[in-house]
Structure 1
Amino acid sequence: MSSPLVERIELDELTCWRVRTEDAELQVAQQGAQILGYQRDGEPPLIWLSNQAAYQKGKAVRGGVPVCWPWFGDLRRNPAEVQGMHEGGPLCPAHGLVRELDWELLNIDTDGPTVHMAFAVDSRSPLLPGWPHAAKLRLDIRLGEALQVSLTSHNLGDTPLAISQALHSYFAISDIREVEVEGLDGCPYIETLEDWQLRKQQGNIAFSGETDRIYLKTPSRMSIVDRAWKRRIQLDVEGSASAVVWNPWIDKARRLSQFAEDAWQGMLCIETARVMDDILVLKPGEEQRMVLNIASKPL
């Protein structure tokens, strides 16, 4: 292939783009600026997408890399500064207000074998319900030898802006019972499944049941070690010191939408985040960027 190929496609109700380079393929939806899939040639997918995913307007797609903003998870579990940004009202969905919006496509360009896509959403148009603040959110996606995802928040108002956020990344794995996560040894974490107790990670993370943990003071590099697939998914981050590690396991999987009963075995979320004491507080006119680099390394 002499140059990357970018084509617009329709998946049911959603406008999407398929990007093909010499050795990788990427799919991105305009709704939520959500990455749906990423795979290197000769390997299993790196990004997991549910085989029951629904491509419907106004409905988040299960899998990929949803953008959670201007809060993460249940707003009521966020720090007071983030909660105070919301004026209340009936619409207060988990993971914020931008996952189900069509973002503006700013550009698609190529630089040799690298493809760059940029999307943006402005909180003033459309007005985000219950959140009357002037801000712009931009997502830059670069596909080359690895995949880089960059989320930039810009406070356009004249008062400080407090937000939490995450790149809610679903990773494809051989079997959750066989993989480990490296890089978080010694990090404090909140065990949300046991009264939000504060604990400390000892060694690598292994999985034997439902997992929903918020890790704090996280390093710039974490890895998913997958011996069955003989690879390491290496995650290098900037502008983030917190992460969420999640797998629903058996019982919760049965209650999730767009999720097969056995799908928990083949996926793991490590969510690059700014949550809890790592929330983002932007001064008037200030912008900050959070970057995730995803690379596949052989074991």
Structure 2
Amino acid sequence: MQTLSAFDSRLADVAGVSIRSAGELYGSDGEGLPLVVIENALGSAVLALQGAHLVSFRPAGAEDLLWLSPKAVFTPGKAIRGGIPLCLPWFGGHPEGKPAHGFARAQPWTLDAVRTLPDGKTELDLSLTPNAAVSALWPHDFLFELRVTVGRELTLALTAHHRGDTPVPFSSAFHTYFSVPDVVLATIDGLQGTTYIDTVGGAHTRHTQLGALQVAGPTDRVYLDVPAVQSIATARGAIRIDSDTRSAVVWNPWEYANNVPDVGSDGYRRFVCVERGDVFDNALQLAPGERYHRSMTLSLA
């Protein structure tokens, strides 16, 4: 892991941006992981360099839109529970038993640039390239890039450049954990009329979404060919999700959270995952030299 001082030259001239340790911010054991703290007049965010993983986003004057588990562990090589993990270059389980949701969320990304934009937003560029551990899992040359823009809105723009010489299957998702006062009272709009695959219990049955969605039990649904915009309405207000990806995944483990140590027995009531991506039927095959580019913007509705 790079030391915090290794990033000083990239941040020296950018007001409101600093590197802190996870131990300092979240009380994790040991030094933990390096986190980038972004603060401007429009909003604030915290980003882990491992996984290019947003763990917090607050529009100015508002509560955090993202849920981070109180039991989250900030350990090198272990995915962080909450925020926005990046799932790529595959989503879900792997037929060969490789790590679920790909390798990108547990790898250290490089912080390439940080800048303040004329409108007061803060922009960060990060990248991931092959290393020995990654090549053992995915033996293809690639460049993954993420641009993060923090203002009153949060925008994540992901680019995957396939630099190998054979076609490769590819899927990705912004695996967003949204903070809600009580998941049973949250209403998800923008999925009406779409087809979803219900994967709870491994069933993989297909249904049509009728009306708005309220989570009332274990939920793991993959929605296909969805509209660009969804919203989550809660007692705190509404959150808008806008993306050019084609899939949406709604997940909450309900009582099965007891089997997930870093969620806890009642943690499931405080979040709902509404993930945008290109998965299952909407997954792709990248040709040699092809670039995949998708983005997602979160805002208060």
> Normalising by structure 1, what TM-score?
0.89
Query: Is residue 167 of structure 2 the alignment partner of residue 164 of structure 1?
Result: no
Per-residue CA distance 1:92-113 (angstroms, 9 max, x = gap): 1111111111011111111131
Residue 187 of structure 2 contacts residue 212 of structure 2 at CA under 8 Å; is this kept in 1?
Answer: yes
Deviation at 1:126, TM superposition (A): 5.4
Aligned residues between the structures: 278
Residue 168 of structure 2 contacts residue 286 of structure 2 at CA under 8 Å; is this kept in 1?
Answer: yes
- Deviates most, 5-14 or 115-124: 115-124
User: Match of 1:123, SS?
Assistant: coil
Match of 1:106 in 2: 112
Residue 69 of structure 1 contacts residue 163 of structure 1 at CA under 8 Å; is this kept in 2?
Answer: yes
Match of 1:216 in 2: 224
Higher helix residue share: 2
User: Match of 1:259, SS?
Assistant: coil
Residue 82 of structure 2 contacts residue 177 of structure 2 at CA under 8 Å; is this kept in 1?
Answer: yes
Q: Distance in 2 between matches of 1:232 and 1:115?
A: 24
- Pick the aligned partner of 1:151 from 135, 144, 158: 158
User: Match of 2:113, SS?
Assistant: strand
Query: Is residue 248 of structure 2 the alignment partner of residue 246 of structure 1?
Result: no
Residue 177 of structure 2 contacts residue 272 of structure 2 at CA under 8 Å; is this kept in 1?
Answer: yes
Q: Distance in 2 between matches of 1:125 and 1:285?
A: 21
Deviation at 1:259, TM superposition (A): 1.4
Match of 1:10 in 2: 21
Deviation at 1:160, TM superposition (A): 1.6
Match of 2:65 in 1: 46
Q: Distance in 2 between matches of 1:207 and 1:260?
A: 18
User: Match of 1:129, SS?
Assistant: helix
Alignment of 1:39-78 (within 5 A): 39-76=58-95
Match of 1:182 in 2: 189
Residue 4 of structure 1 contacts residue 22 of structure 1 at CA under 8 Å; is this kept in 2?
Answer: no
Per-residue CA distance 1:70-108 (angstroms, 9 max, x = gap): 1111113xxxxxxxxxxx5xx611111111110111111
Residue 124 of structure 1 contacts residue 133 of structure 1 at CA under 8 Å; is this kept in 2?
Answer: no
Residue 59 of structure 2 contacts residue 152 of structure 2 at CA under 8 Å; is this kept in 1?
Answer: no
- Pick the aligned partner of 1:295 from 288, 293, 299: 299
Superposition misfits of 4+ residues, deviation over 3 angstroms: 124-127
Q: Distance in 1 between matches of 2:134 and 2:273?
A: 30
Match of 1:29 in 2: 48
Per-residue CA distance 1:22-71 (angstroms, 9 max, x = gap): 13210001100100111123322101101111111111110010111111
Q: Distance in 2 between matches of 1:253 and 1:131?
A: 30
Query: Is residue 283 of structure 2 the alignment partner of residue 279 of structure 1?
Result: yes
User: Match of 2:108, SS?
Assistant: coil
Query: Is residue 206 of structure 2 the alignment partner of residue 198 of structure 1?
Result: yes
Match of 1:142 in 2: 149
Residue 191 of structure 1 contacts residue 199 of structure 1 at CA under 8 Å; is this kept in 2?
Answer: yes
Deviation at 1:280, TM superposition (A): 2.1
- RMSD, aligned α-carbons: 1.5
Give 5+ residue unaligned stretches, structure 1. 77-87
> Normalising by structure 2, what TM-score?
0.89
- Pick the aligned partner of 1:257 from 253, 257, 261: 261
Residue 124 of structure 1 contacts residue 134 of structure 1 at CA under 8 Å; is this kept in 2?
Answer: no
Report the AA paired with residue 110 of structure 1: T
Residue 4 of structure 1 contacts residue 115 of structure 1 at CA under 8 Å; is this kept in 2?
Answer: no
Q: Distance in 1 between matches of 2:160 and 2:71?
A: 32
Between the aligned residues of both structures, percent identity stands at 32
Per-residue CA distance 1:184-206 (angstroms, 9 max, x = gap): 00000001115110110000001
User: Match of 2:268, SS?
Assistant: helix
Match of 2:5 in 1: none
Report the AA paired with residue 285 of structure 1: G
Match of 1:85 in 2: none
